[in-house]
Structure 1
Amino acid sequence: MQNLEPRLVQLERSDAWQQVLPLPPVMSSQQAGWKGIHFEYHRQPIHATPDYAFPVHIISIGLSYESTEFKANRRVYKQFWPGNVAINPAHESLSTEAYGNAEFMLMSLHPDLLALVTDRNLGVEQIELTPQVLGRDPLIYHMGLELKRELEFAGSDSQLYAESMATALATHLIRRYATRNAIIKEYSGGLSPYKLKTAIAYIQDNLDQSLSLGEIAAVVQMSPHYFAGLFKQSIGVAPYQYVTQCRIERAKQLLSRPELAIVEVCHRVGFQNQSHFTKVFREHTSVTPKAYRNSL
């Protein structure tokens, strides 16, 4: 008897796509160590896949197809447009056929994350998403492009940013694509003075490390998503934005010490990639680290 079960693709495996697609992704967040969200950028030739499924929610963003037609779940679609957003809920069977070269991005979220951003005590099995093959969603499209950009330029420096985007994407999916009403957690009052002081002290003491939202939240014994919302209320910016601001201010101080090479300053403020450090520093100060040092 033929096996009707779809092939389960585990994205955390390095050989995951060898099961269904001709080529591995051009870019993947796996090497960057992202938590909460997985991102991939693909360029695939003509192909047809077997039935497959994911244990996570998958959002596909089409960028270009050489052919104006493609097939999903054995149905032919002729209205493809760049920026098309497809939603494939966890464990839903999927098959695709591309009649020309295809360029697309994939984002995945674990179902647990969607449950964490809701206000009700809903189990993961109670939160279902409405699937779609063709659709427009400017916010998701923009998120995909920003994650691709962050992965390209920041690499392993992008973990904190990716965690924040994961929460934002989960919230958007609940609001727009959930099959039943689920109230999003609302945050009010901010962090207590003690918890805010503790979190800030931890950030300042560990600017040379690859900080994650989970690590900072654990210091004040809170869930990452609850902490992020209250922190933004207290400070006015998201945790990843605050950490970047602190790193730039620390970098300015260190650049005043001529005995420190710029690459050493880069590493002392938590950047693994000097070109990314230069880019972020210039975005915040309008000058490169070298130019800033020369101006002192």
Structure 2
Amino acid sequence: MRKSTTPFEKPADASTDSFGCSLEKLSTNQTLRGAGLTVLRKGVREGLSQQVSTEASNRGFVIGVSTLPGHTRRIFHEHHATTHVFEQDSVYIRSLDERYKADLRNAFDFLLFEISPAALATIAEEADLRAVSVLNTITGHPDPVLANLARALIPALENPEQASRLFVDQLTTAIGTHVIQKYGHRTAASGTRARKLSRAQENVAKSIILDNLHGNVSIAELARACNLSRGYFIHAFRETTGMTPYQWLLRERIARARTLLLETDVAISEIAISCGFSDQSHFTRVFVNLVGTTPGIWRRNA
């Protein structure tokens, strides 16, 4: 005998993703792992209407950031429905332990962050915040700070094989901290501590970073080498050096590149790759930002 379903339920369908979106209709479907977060990007170019429905799970919470204006979502609750129009940089947060059903209309492009209750507690502890296991649910609220942080991950989502793990870890840690501070239920500061690396810890961290100029080392690995938590390490490294680990990595890449530009005739494109940049264009952008001129002009003047 066929089992009946409630208005929220639908049979399992392999043609949909974990949020109930039709895989066939998705024009963008990208995933990246960060520090305590799963980062996703879901998009539909055309205004195709569809209904999504998911059952309750223990996955935690999802935070969505809309990069496009005009997406409309009619959300069905137990005894009523609400309609929301998403502007660019507006945010929603919903608990995945509740059943969800909504009609989606118009094109959309969402950056999504899935975070478990355990990860919430870890990020809060590492950021010196009172323990948090619940986020306040919102729909369509503007949050330009979170939107700017989220957008910075788009290149990494588009080319995950070229993404620096240090950069992704730092950015997702910042995103997690912002979410907890702004939306964590009864979050409050528990006081700040002076945090600096010992000379030995600083030397260990810098040595590991230099051995991985392409950025293929995670914040967690650096923190473990220093016997520190991930969040404590990021703060302590910044207090000690005046820079985040990724900023320090970029400066070391540029320092090595300047030596090669000055002492060798190696092509700029080859220097870019050998110093850990994805290509010459990326190298040039960072070089101009830190040095004030292009590698070619600097080499000629030097």
Letter in 2 for 1:38: T
Deviations 1:145-202 (A, max 9, x none): 2222565588623321221122222222222222234546734141112211221222
- Please, which of 43, 52, 59 is the counterpart of residue 63 of structure 2? 59
How big is the shift at 1:276? Answer: 2.1
Q: Which range moves more in the overlay, 37-46 or 211-220?
A: 37-46
CA separation of 1:64/1:199 partners in 2, compared to 1, >3 Å: closer, same or farther?
closer
CA separation of 1:113/1:76 partners in 2, compared to 1, >3 Å: closer, same or farther?
same
Q: How does 1:134-153 map to 2 (within 5 A)?
A: 134-148=140-154, 151=157
Counterpart residue number, 1:267: 273
- Is residue 117–residue 184 contact of structure 1 (8 Å, CA) maintained in 2? no
CA distance in 2, matches of 1:51, 1:90: 9
Deviations 1:4-39 (A, max 9, x none): 6878x9xxxxx8469533434626243xx6443333
Higher-helix-fraction structure:
1
CA distance in 2, matches of 1:167, 1:142: 14
Q: TM-score, normalized by length of structure 1?
A: 0.81
CA distance in 2, matches of 1:95, 1:158: 36
- Please, which of 22, 25, 29 is the counterpart of residue 23 of structure 1? 25
Counterpart residue number, 2:51: 48
Deviations 1:39-95 (A, max 9, x none): 33333232211225661421112233556x421235231454322210123433333
- Is residue 37–residue 109 contact of structure 1 (8 Å, CA) maintained in 2? yes
CA distance in 2, matches of 1:26, 1:36: 23
Letter in 1 for 2:183: Y
- Please, which of 122, 127, 133 is the counterpart of residue 127 of structure 1? 133
How big is the shift at 1:142? Answer: 1.8
Counterpart residue number, 2:110: 104
CA separation of 1:36/1:250 partners in 2, compared to 1, >3 Å: closer, same or farther?
farther
Letter in 2 for 1:57: F
- Is residue 151–residue 158 contact of structure 1 (8 Å, CA) maintained in 2? no
Counterpart residue number, 1:252: 258
How big is the shift at 1:227? Answer: 0.8
Letter in 2 for 1:113: A
- Is residue 143–residue 165 contact of structure 1 (8 Å, CA) maintained in 2? yes
**Structure 1, unaligned runs of 5 or more:** 10-14
- Please, which of 70, 74, 77 is the counterpart of residue 71 of structure 1? 74
Counterpart residue number, 2:235: 229
- Is residue 213–residue 253 contact of structure 2 (8 Å, CA) maintained in 1? yes
Letter in 2 for 1:91: D
Answer with 1 or 2: which has the greater Rg: 2
Q: TM-score, normalized by length of structure 2?
A: 0.79
Letter in 2 for 1:41: R
Letter in 2 for 1:20: C
CA distance in 2, matches of 1:141, 1:291: 36
How big is the shift at 1:100? Answer: 2.0
Q: SS of the residue aligned with 2:258?
A: helix
How big is the shift at 1:287? Answer: 2.6
Q: Which range moves more in the overlay, 226-235 or 273-282?
A: 273-282
Counterpart residue number, 1:12: none
Measured on the aligned residues, the alpha-carbon RMSD in Å equals: 3.5
